Chain A
Amino acid sequence: MSDANPPAAIEIRALVLPSDPPGATPMDLTVEAGETVGLLGDDQVRLTQIIRVVGGLERPASGTVKVFGVDVGAASRQTLLQLRRTIGYVSVAGGLLSNMTVRDNVALALHYFQDEDGRGPDSVTERCNELIALGSLEDVADQPASVVPAEYQKCAAYVRALGRNPKLLLVEDPAAFLHPDGRSTIARLHAKVRGTGITILLADDDVGLAQRLVERALWLTGDTISYDGPSATLPRELAPSGRTMLPFDIR
């Protein structure tokens, strides 16, 4: 029997974050499957915490956060591990394993779930090479992750998160640690994966970059959503001048 009403990719109801002061306005948000949504605002710490709560890395103070119907605030560790098989996650710093090369990092989850995914060694290598090319990482692929410049680490974290074709991509702060070339690479990555039906939720205080990465933008003023609409029409007064920081192009 087909499911007539599949759950939303993300459904947030009356969310109060652990860091919110007493009396904070609870947050509601629904992200449908296939949407690309940016949480924008001045308070990157708060924005990042929302992403972490959605990713099940932190528990909400109150309210419910459901990802593909699973209440991540109440889920057990094993349930979360199961859910995360369908989620790609990019943290602020990337979180590459520093005792491995960039290539080994990109291939880690592919190797780890190799039997489960039914991939042979050749298929893993092929997919890994695709991802290395997607992130423009050919020059640094065989260097230890710890010695590679931060922007490459971020790109590697991105392609690592996309490795197993997740249904949902969560990104804490795409602009962090990126120079202009890195920003172009990230934008190119987003442009490529956007057409695949993947749902994206990211949080960024760099409006200029975020507007180009997502189609729907939410502007958070404090704990209140003051804009929810197409990213292209985000009112300029919400994004103070100077917040679009670095030159940008999609090559």
Chain B
Amino acid sequence: MLTDLGRIVSYSTLGVMAAGAIFTRPREGGRVVRAQIARQIIFSAWDGIPLVALIAGMMTVSIVVIVATLAPAASTPELIGSLLATVIVRELAPLTTAVIVALRSCAAVTVELGYMSWRGEVEALETMAIDPAKFLLLPRFAGLTIASVSLTIVFTATVFGAAAAGVRLLDVDSSVEHLATVLHTLVSATAMSVAVIKATAFGLIIASVSCYHGLSVRSDITHLPRRATRALVEVLVLCTSVNVAITLIAL
């Protein structure tokens, strides 16, 4: 228990170091660090858009099909709208996006930093007076958090588009305009804010856990696969727990 608490403190410390790196010696590393952030955003966010859109679309079609099949015709648009607004936008969009970001980036970051740590590259940065918090942590924290939030927005937008397409294709007893009206009523600014808060928290969790486990690899490279697996499992557990906590607070 104490070990777990200690590790969570370490995760937070990495977050504080990454945030602090923005303000310490601002003239340092400008272009180099910005290039690293851009690289991380391209890998974690931009390259992940097709997968997120595909999964969001397929999940939505499933929901529309199930509701259209099981629910009484008269209540279909309201039920679809309600499910999309509460279950998908507030709950599944940030969490599913976090799982996708974690699957694509968590192991990659852990392995990359673990390899760098084992090869002495992190130490070499320090010997060149290059702050690893700024050169390594900040780009990953920024990139993964931006990826989590932006992909959640992509997920949500895809859900709305897929729902409209599903309603039209399945010839549900409702117009797309009717569905749009229902969604407009149900998807409040609060629901979107909760989704963004969750996505931000998940991005920070993915970054801190994967960076921690990567940098924990020292002299023994055989620890790397175990660290990568452990990081992914911890990210899933932490994100699910935080998701429940934010849901309960926001209810």
Count of residues in A whose CB is under 8 Å from the partner chain: 30
Q: Tell me if A116 is interfacial: C-beta within 8 Å of chain B.
A: yes
* Cα separation A78 to B119 with both chains bound (whole Å): 23
Expressed in whole angstroms, the minimum distance between the Cβ of A86 and any Cβ of chain B is 9
* Cα separation A136 to B121 with both chains bound (whole Å): 22
CB atoms of A114 and B31 under 8 A apart: yes
CB atoms of A91 and B124 under 8 A apart: yes
Provide the residues of chain B in CB contact with A239, threshold 8 Å: none
Q: Tell me if B78 is interfacial: C-beta within 8 Å of chain A.
A: no
* Chain B, residue nearest A85 (CB): B129
CB atoms of B119 and A95 under 8 A apart: yes
CB atoms of B119 and A98 under 8 A apart: yes
CB atoms of A93 and B129 under 8 A apart: no
Q: Tell me if A212 is interfacial: C-beta within 8 Å of chain B.
A: no
CB atoms of A55 and B129 under 8 A apart: no
CB within 8 A of A78: which of B24, B29, B32, B135? B24
CB atoms of B28 and A95 under 8 A apart: no
CB atoms of B124 and A96 under 8 A apart: yes
CB atoms of B127 and A111 under 8 A apart: no
Between A81, A99, A160, the greatest number of chain B beta carbons within 10 A of the residue's beta carbon is seen for: A81
Known: A89-B127, A95-B123. 5 other contacts (CB 8 A): A97-B121, A98-B116, A108-B128, A108-B130, A116-B27
Which B residues are closer than 8 A to A by beta carbons?
24, 27-32, 112, 115-116, 119-121, 123-131, 135
30 contacts between A and B (CB under 8 A): A78-B24, A80-B126, A81-B126, A82-B129, A84-B127, A84-B129, A85-B129, A91-B127, A93-B120, A95-B119, A95-B121, A95-B124, A96-B124, A97-B116, A97-B121, A97-B125, A98-B116, A98-B119, A98-B121, A109-B129, A109-B130, A112-B29, A112-B130, A112-B135, A113-B28, A113-B29, A114-B31, A115-B27, A116-B27, A160-B128
Closest 5 A-B residue pairs measured CB to CB?
A: A95-B124, A89-B127, A84-B129, A95-B120, A85-B129
